[in-house]
């Protein structure tokens, strides 16, 4: 792998900044200064930047507070996509969104280049519950709670039992679902005669949306947060 790509993969500097560091002679490979961004290194090379050894990483895990108006994809013909909001310093990781939120849904979205983790989190077999806050156009009641608890049959899938929690305002609810099928929360609400007018995902498994993230903001998951996703206890 190229030296500049390797360094960019280790830290949070962009490839452009990394090139500058290399030119300035601040980078050593196996003890010797290397001023060539295109020099080849591998995972065994000892690379130091400003005298500090750095460690290669293959995967990156990002948390985004997704705003409305962005498609959960890496490319769309018509609309901006969530990866447009990811900083240039992560460009070489080629992250993709883990699961989909509708264009008008806000809240917790994970982006990564780790396909295995993405599979673990999105596979309906793994029962990783996703929690949403929803505002609906008509009050919800205990009959709706029961309907959600029973699960629901749709044309192309059966929604497993879901949790509906009604807040003090009966038009504001929390909903937890095990899957993440197309428009699932909206369709489950419609089944009970309500339309969702606002939807935000607040958690995935044990991982909660960081409330200090503004809409459109992105940050890396901490090791602890990543652990919450990886070791999720799905005995719901």
Kindly list the residues in this chain that would bind ligand URA in the complex (CB under 6 A): 101-102, 105, 183-186, 199
Cα distances (Å, whole numbers) of residue 218 to 34, 86, 182, 184, 221: 33, 7, 24, 25, 9
Which are the contacts of 23, defined by CB distance < 8 A and separation ≥ 6?
Answer: 35, 37
- Which residue out of 17, 102, 104, 210 is catalytically annotated? 102
Active site residue 4: no
Instruction: Please count the other Cβ atoms lying within 10 Å of the Cβ belonging to residue 94.
Output: 10
- Residue 207's DSSP bridge partners are 204
Shortest distance, position 217 Cβ to ligand URA, whole Å:
19
Let me know: does 103 contact 70? Beta carbons within 8 Å.
Answer: yes
Let me know: does 60 contact 113? Beta carbons within 8 Å.
Answer: yes
- CB-nearer residue toward ligand URA: 8 or 175: 175
Shortest distance, position 122 Cβ to ligand URA, whole Å:
12
- CB-nearer residue toward ligand URA: 47 or 65: 65
- CB-nearer residue toward ligand URA: 105 or 192: 105
Q: Which two tokens stand for residue 205?
A: 């498994």
Shortest distance, position 63 Cβ to ligand URA, whole Å:
17
CA-to-CA distance for 33 and 137, rounded, in angstroms?
65
- CB-nearer residue toward ligand URA: 8 or 134: 134
Shortest distance, position 77 Cβ to ligand URA, whole Å:
20
Query: Could you list the active site residues?
Result: 102
């Amino acid at each position: 792998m190229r030296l500049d790509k390797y360094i960019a993969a280790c830290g949070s500097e962009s490839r452009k900044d990394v090139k500058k560091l290399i030119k300035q002679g601040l980078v050593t490979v196996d003890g010797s200064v290397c001023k060539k961004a295109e020099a080849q290194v591998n995972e065994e090379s000892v690379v130091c930047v400003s005298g500090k050894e750095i460690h290669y990483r293959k995967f990156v895990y990002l948390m985004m507070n997704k705003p409305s108006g962005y498609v959960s994809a890496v490319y769309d013909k018509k609309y901006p996509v969530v990866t447009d909001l990811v900083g240039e310093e992560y460009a070489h990781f080629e992250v993709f969104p883990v699961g989909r939120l509708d264009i008008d849904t806000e809240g917790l979205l994970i982006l990564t280049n780790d396909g295995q983790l993405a599979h673990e989190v999105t596979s309906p077999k793994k029962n990783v519950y996703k929690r949403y806050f929803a505002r609906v156009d008509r009050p919800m009641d205990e009959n709706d709670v029961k309907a959600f608890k029973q699960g629901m049959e749709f044309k192309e899938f059966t929604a497993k039992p879901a949790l509906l929690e009604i807040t003090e305002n009966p038009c504001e609810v929390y909903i937890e679902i095990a899957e993440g099928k197309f428009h699932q929360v909206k369709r489950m609400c419609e089944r009970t005669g309500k339309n969702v007018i606002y939807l935000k995902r607040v958690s995935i498994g044990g991982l909660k949306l960081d409330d200090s993230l503004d809409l459109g903001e992105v940050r890396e998951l901490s090791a602890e947060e990543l652990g919450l996703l990886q070791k999720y206890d799905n005995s719901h």
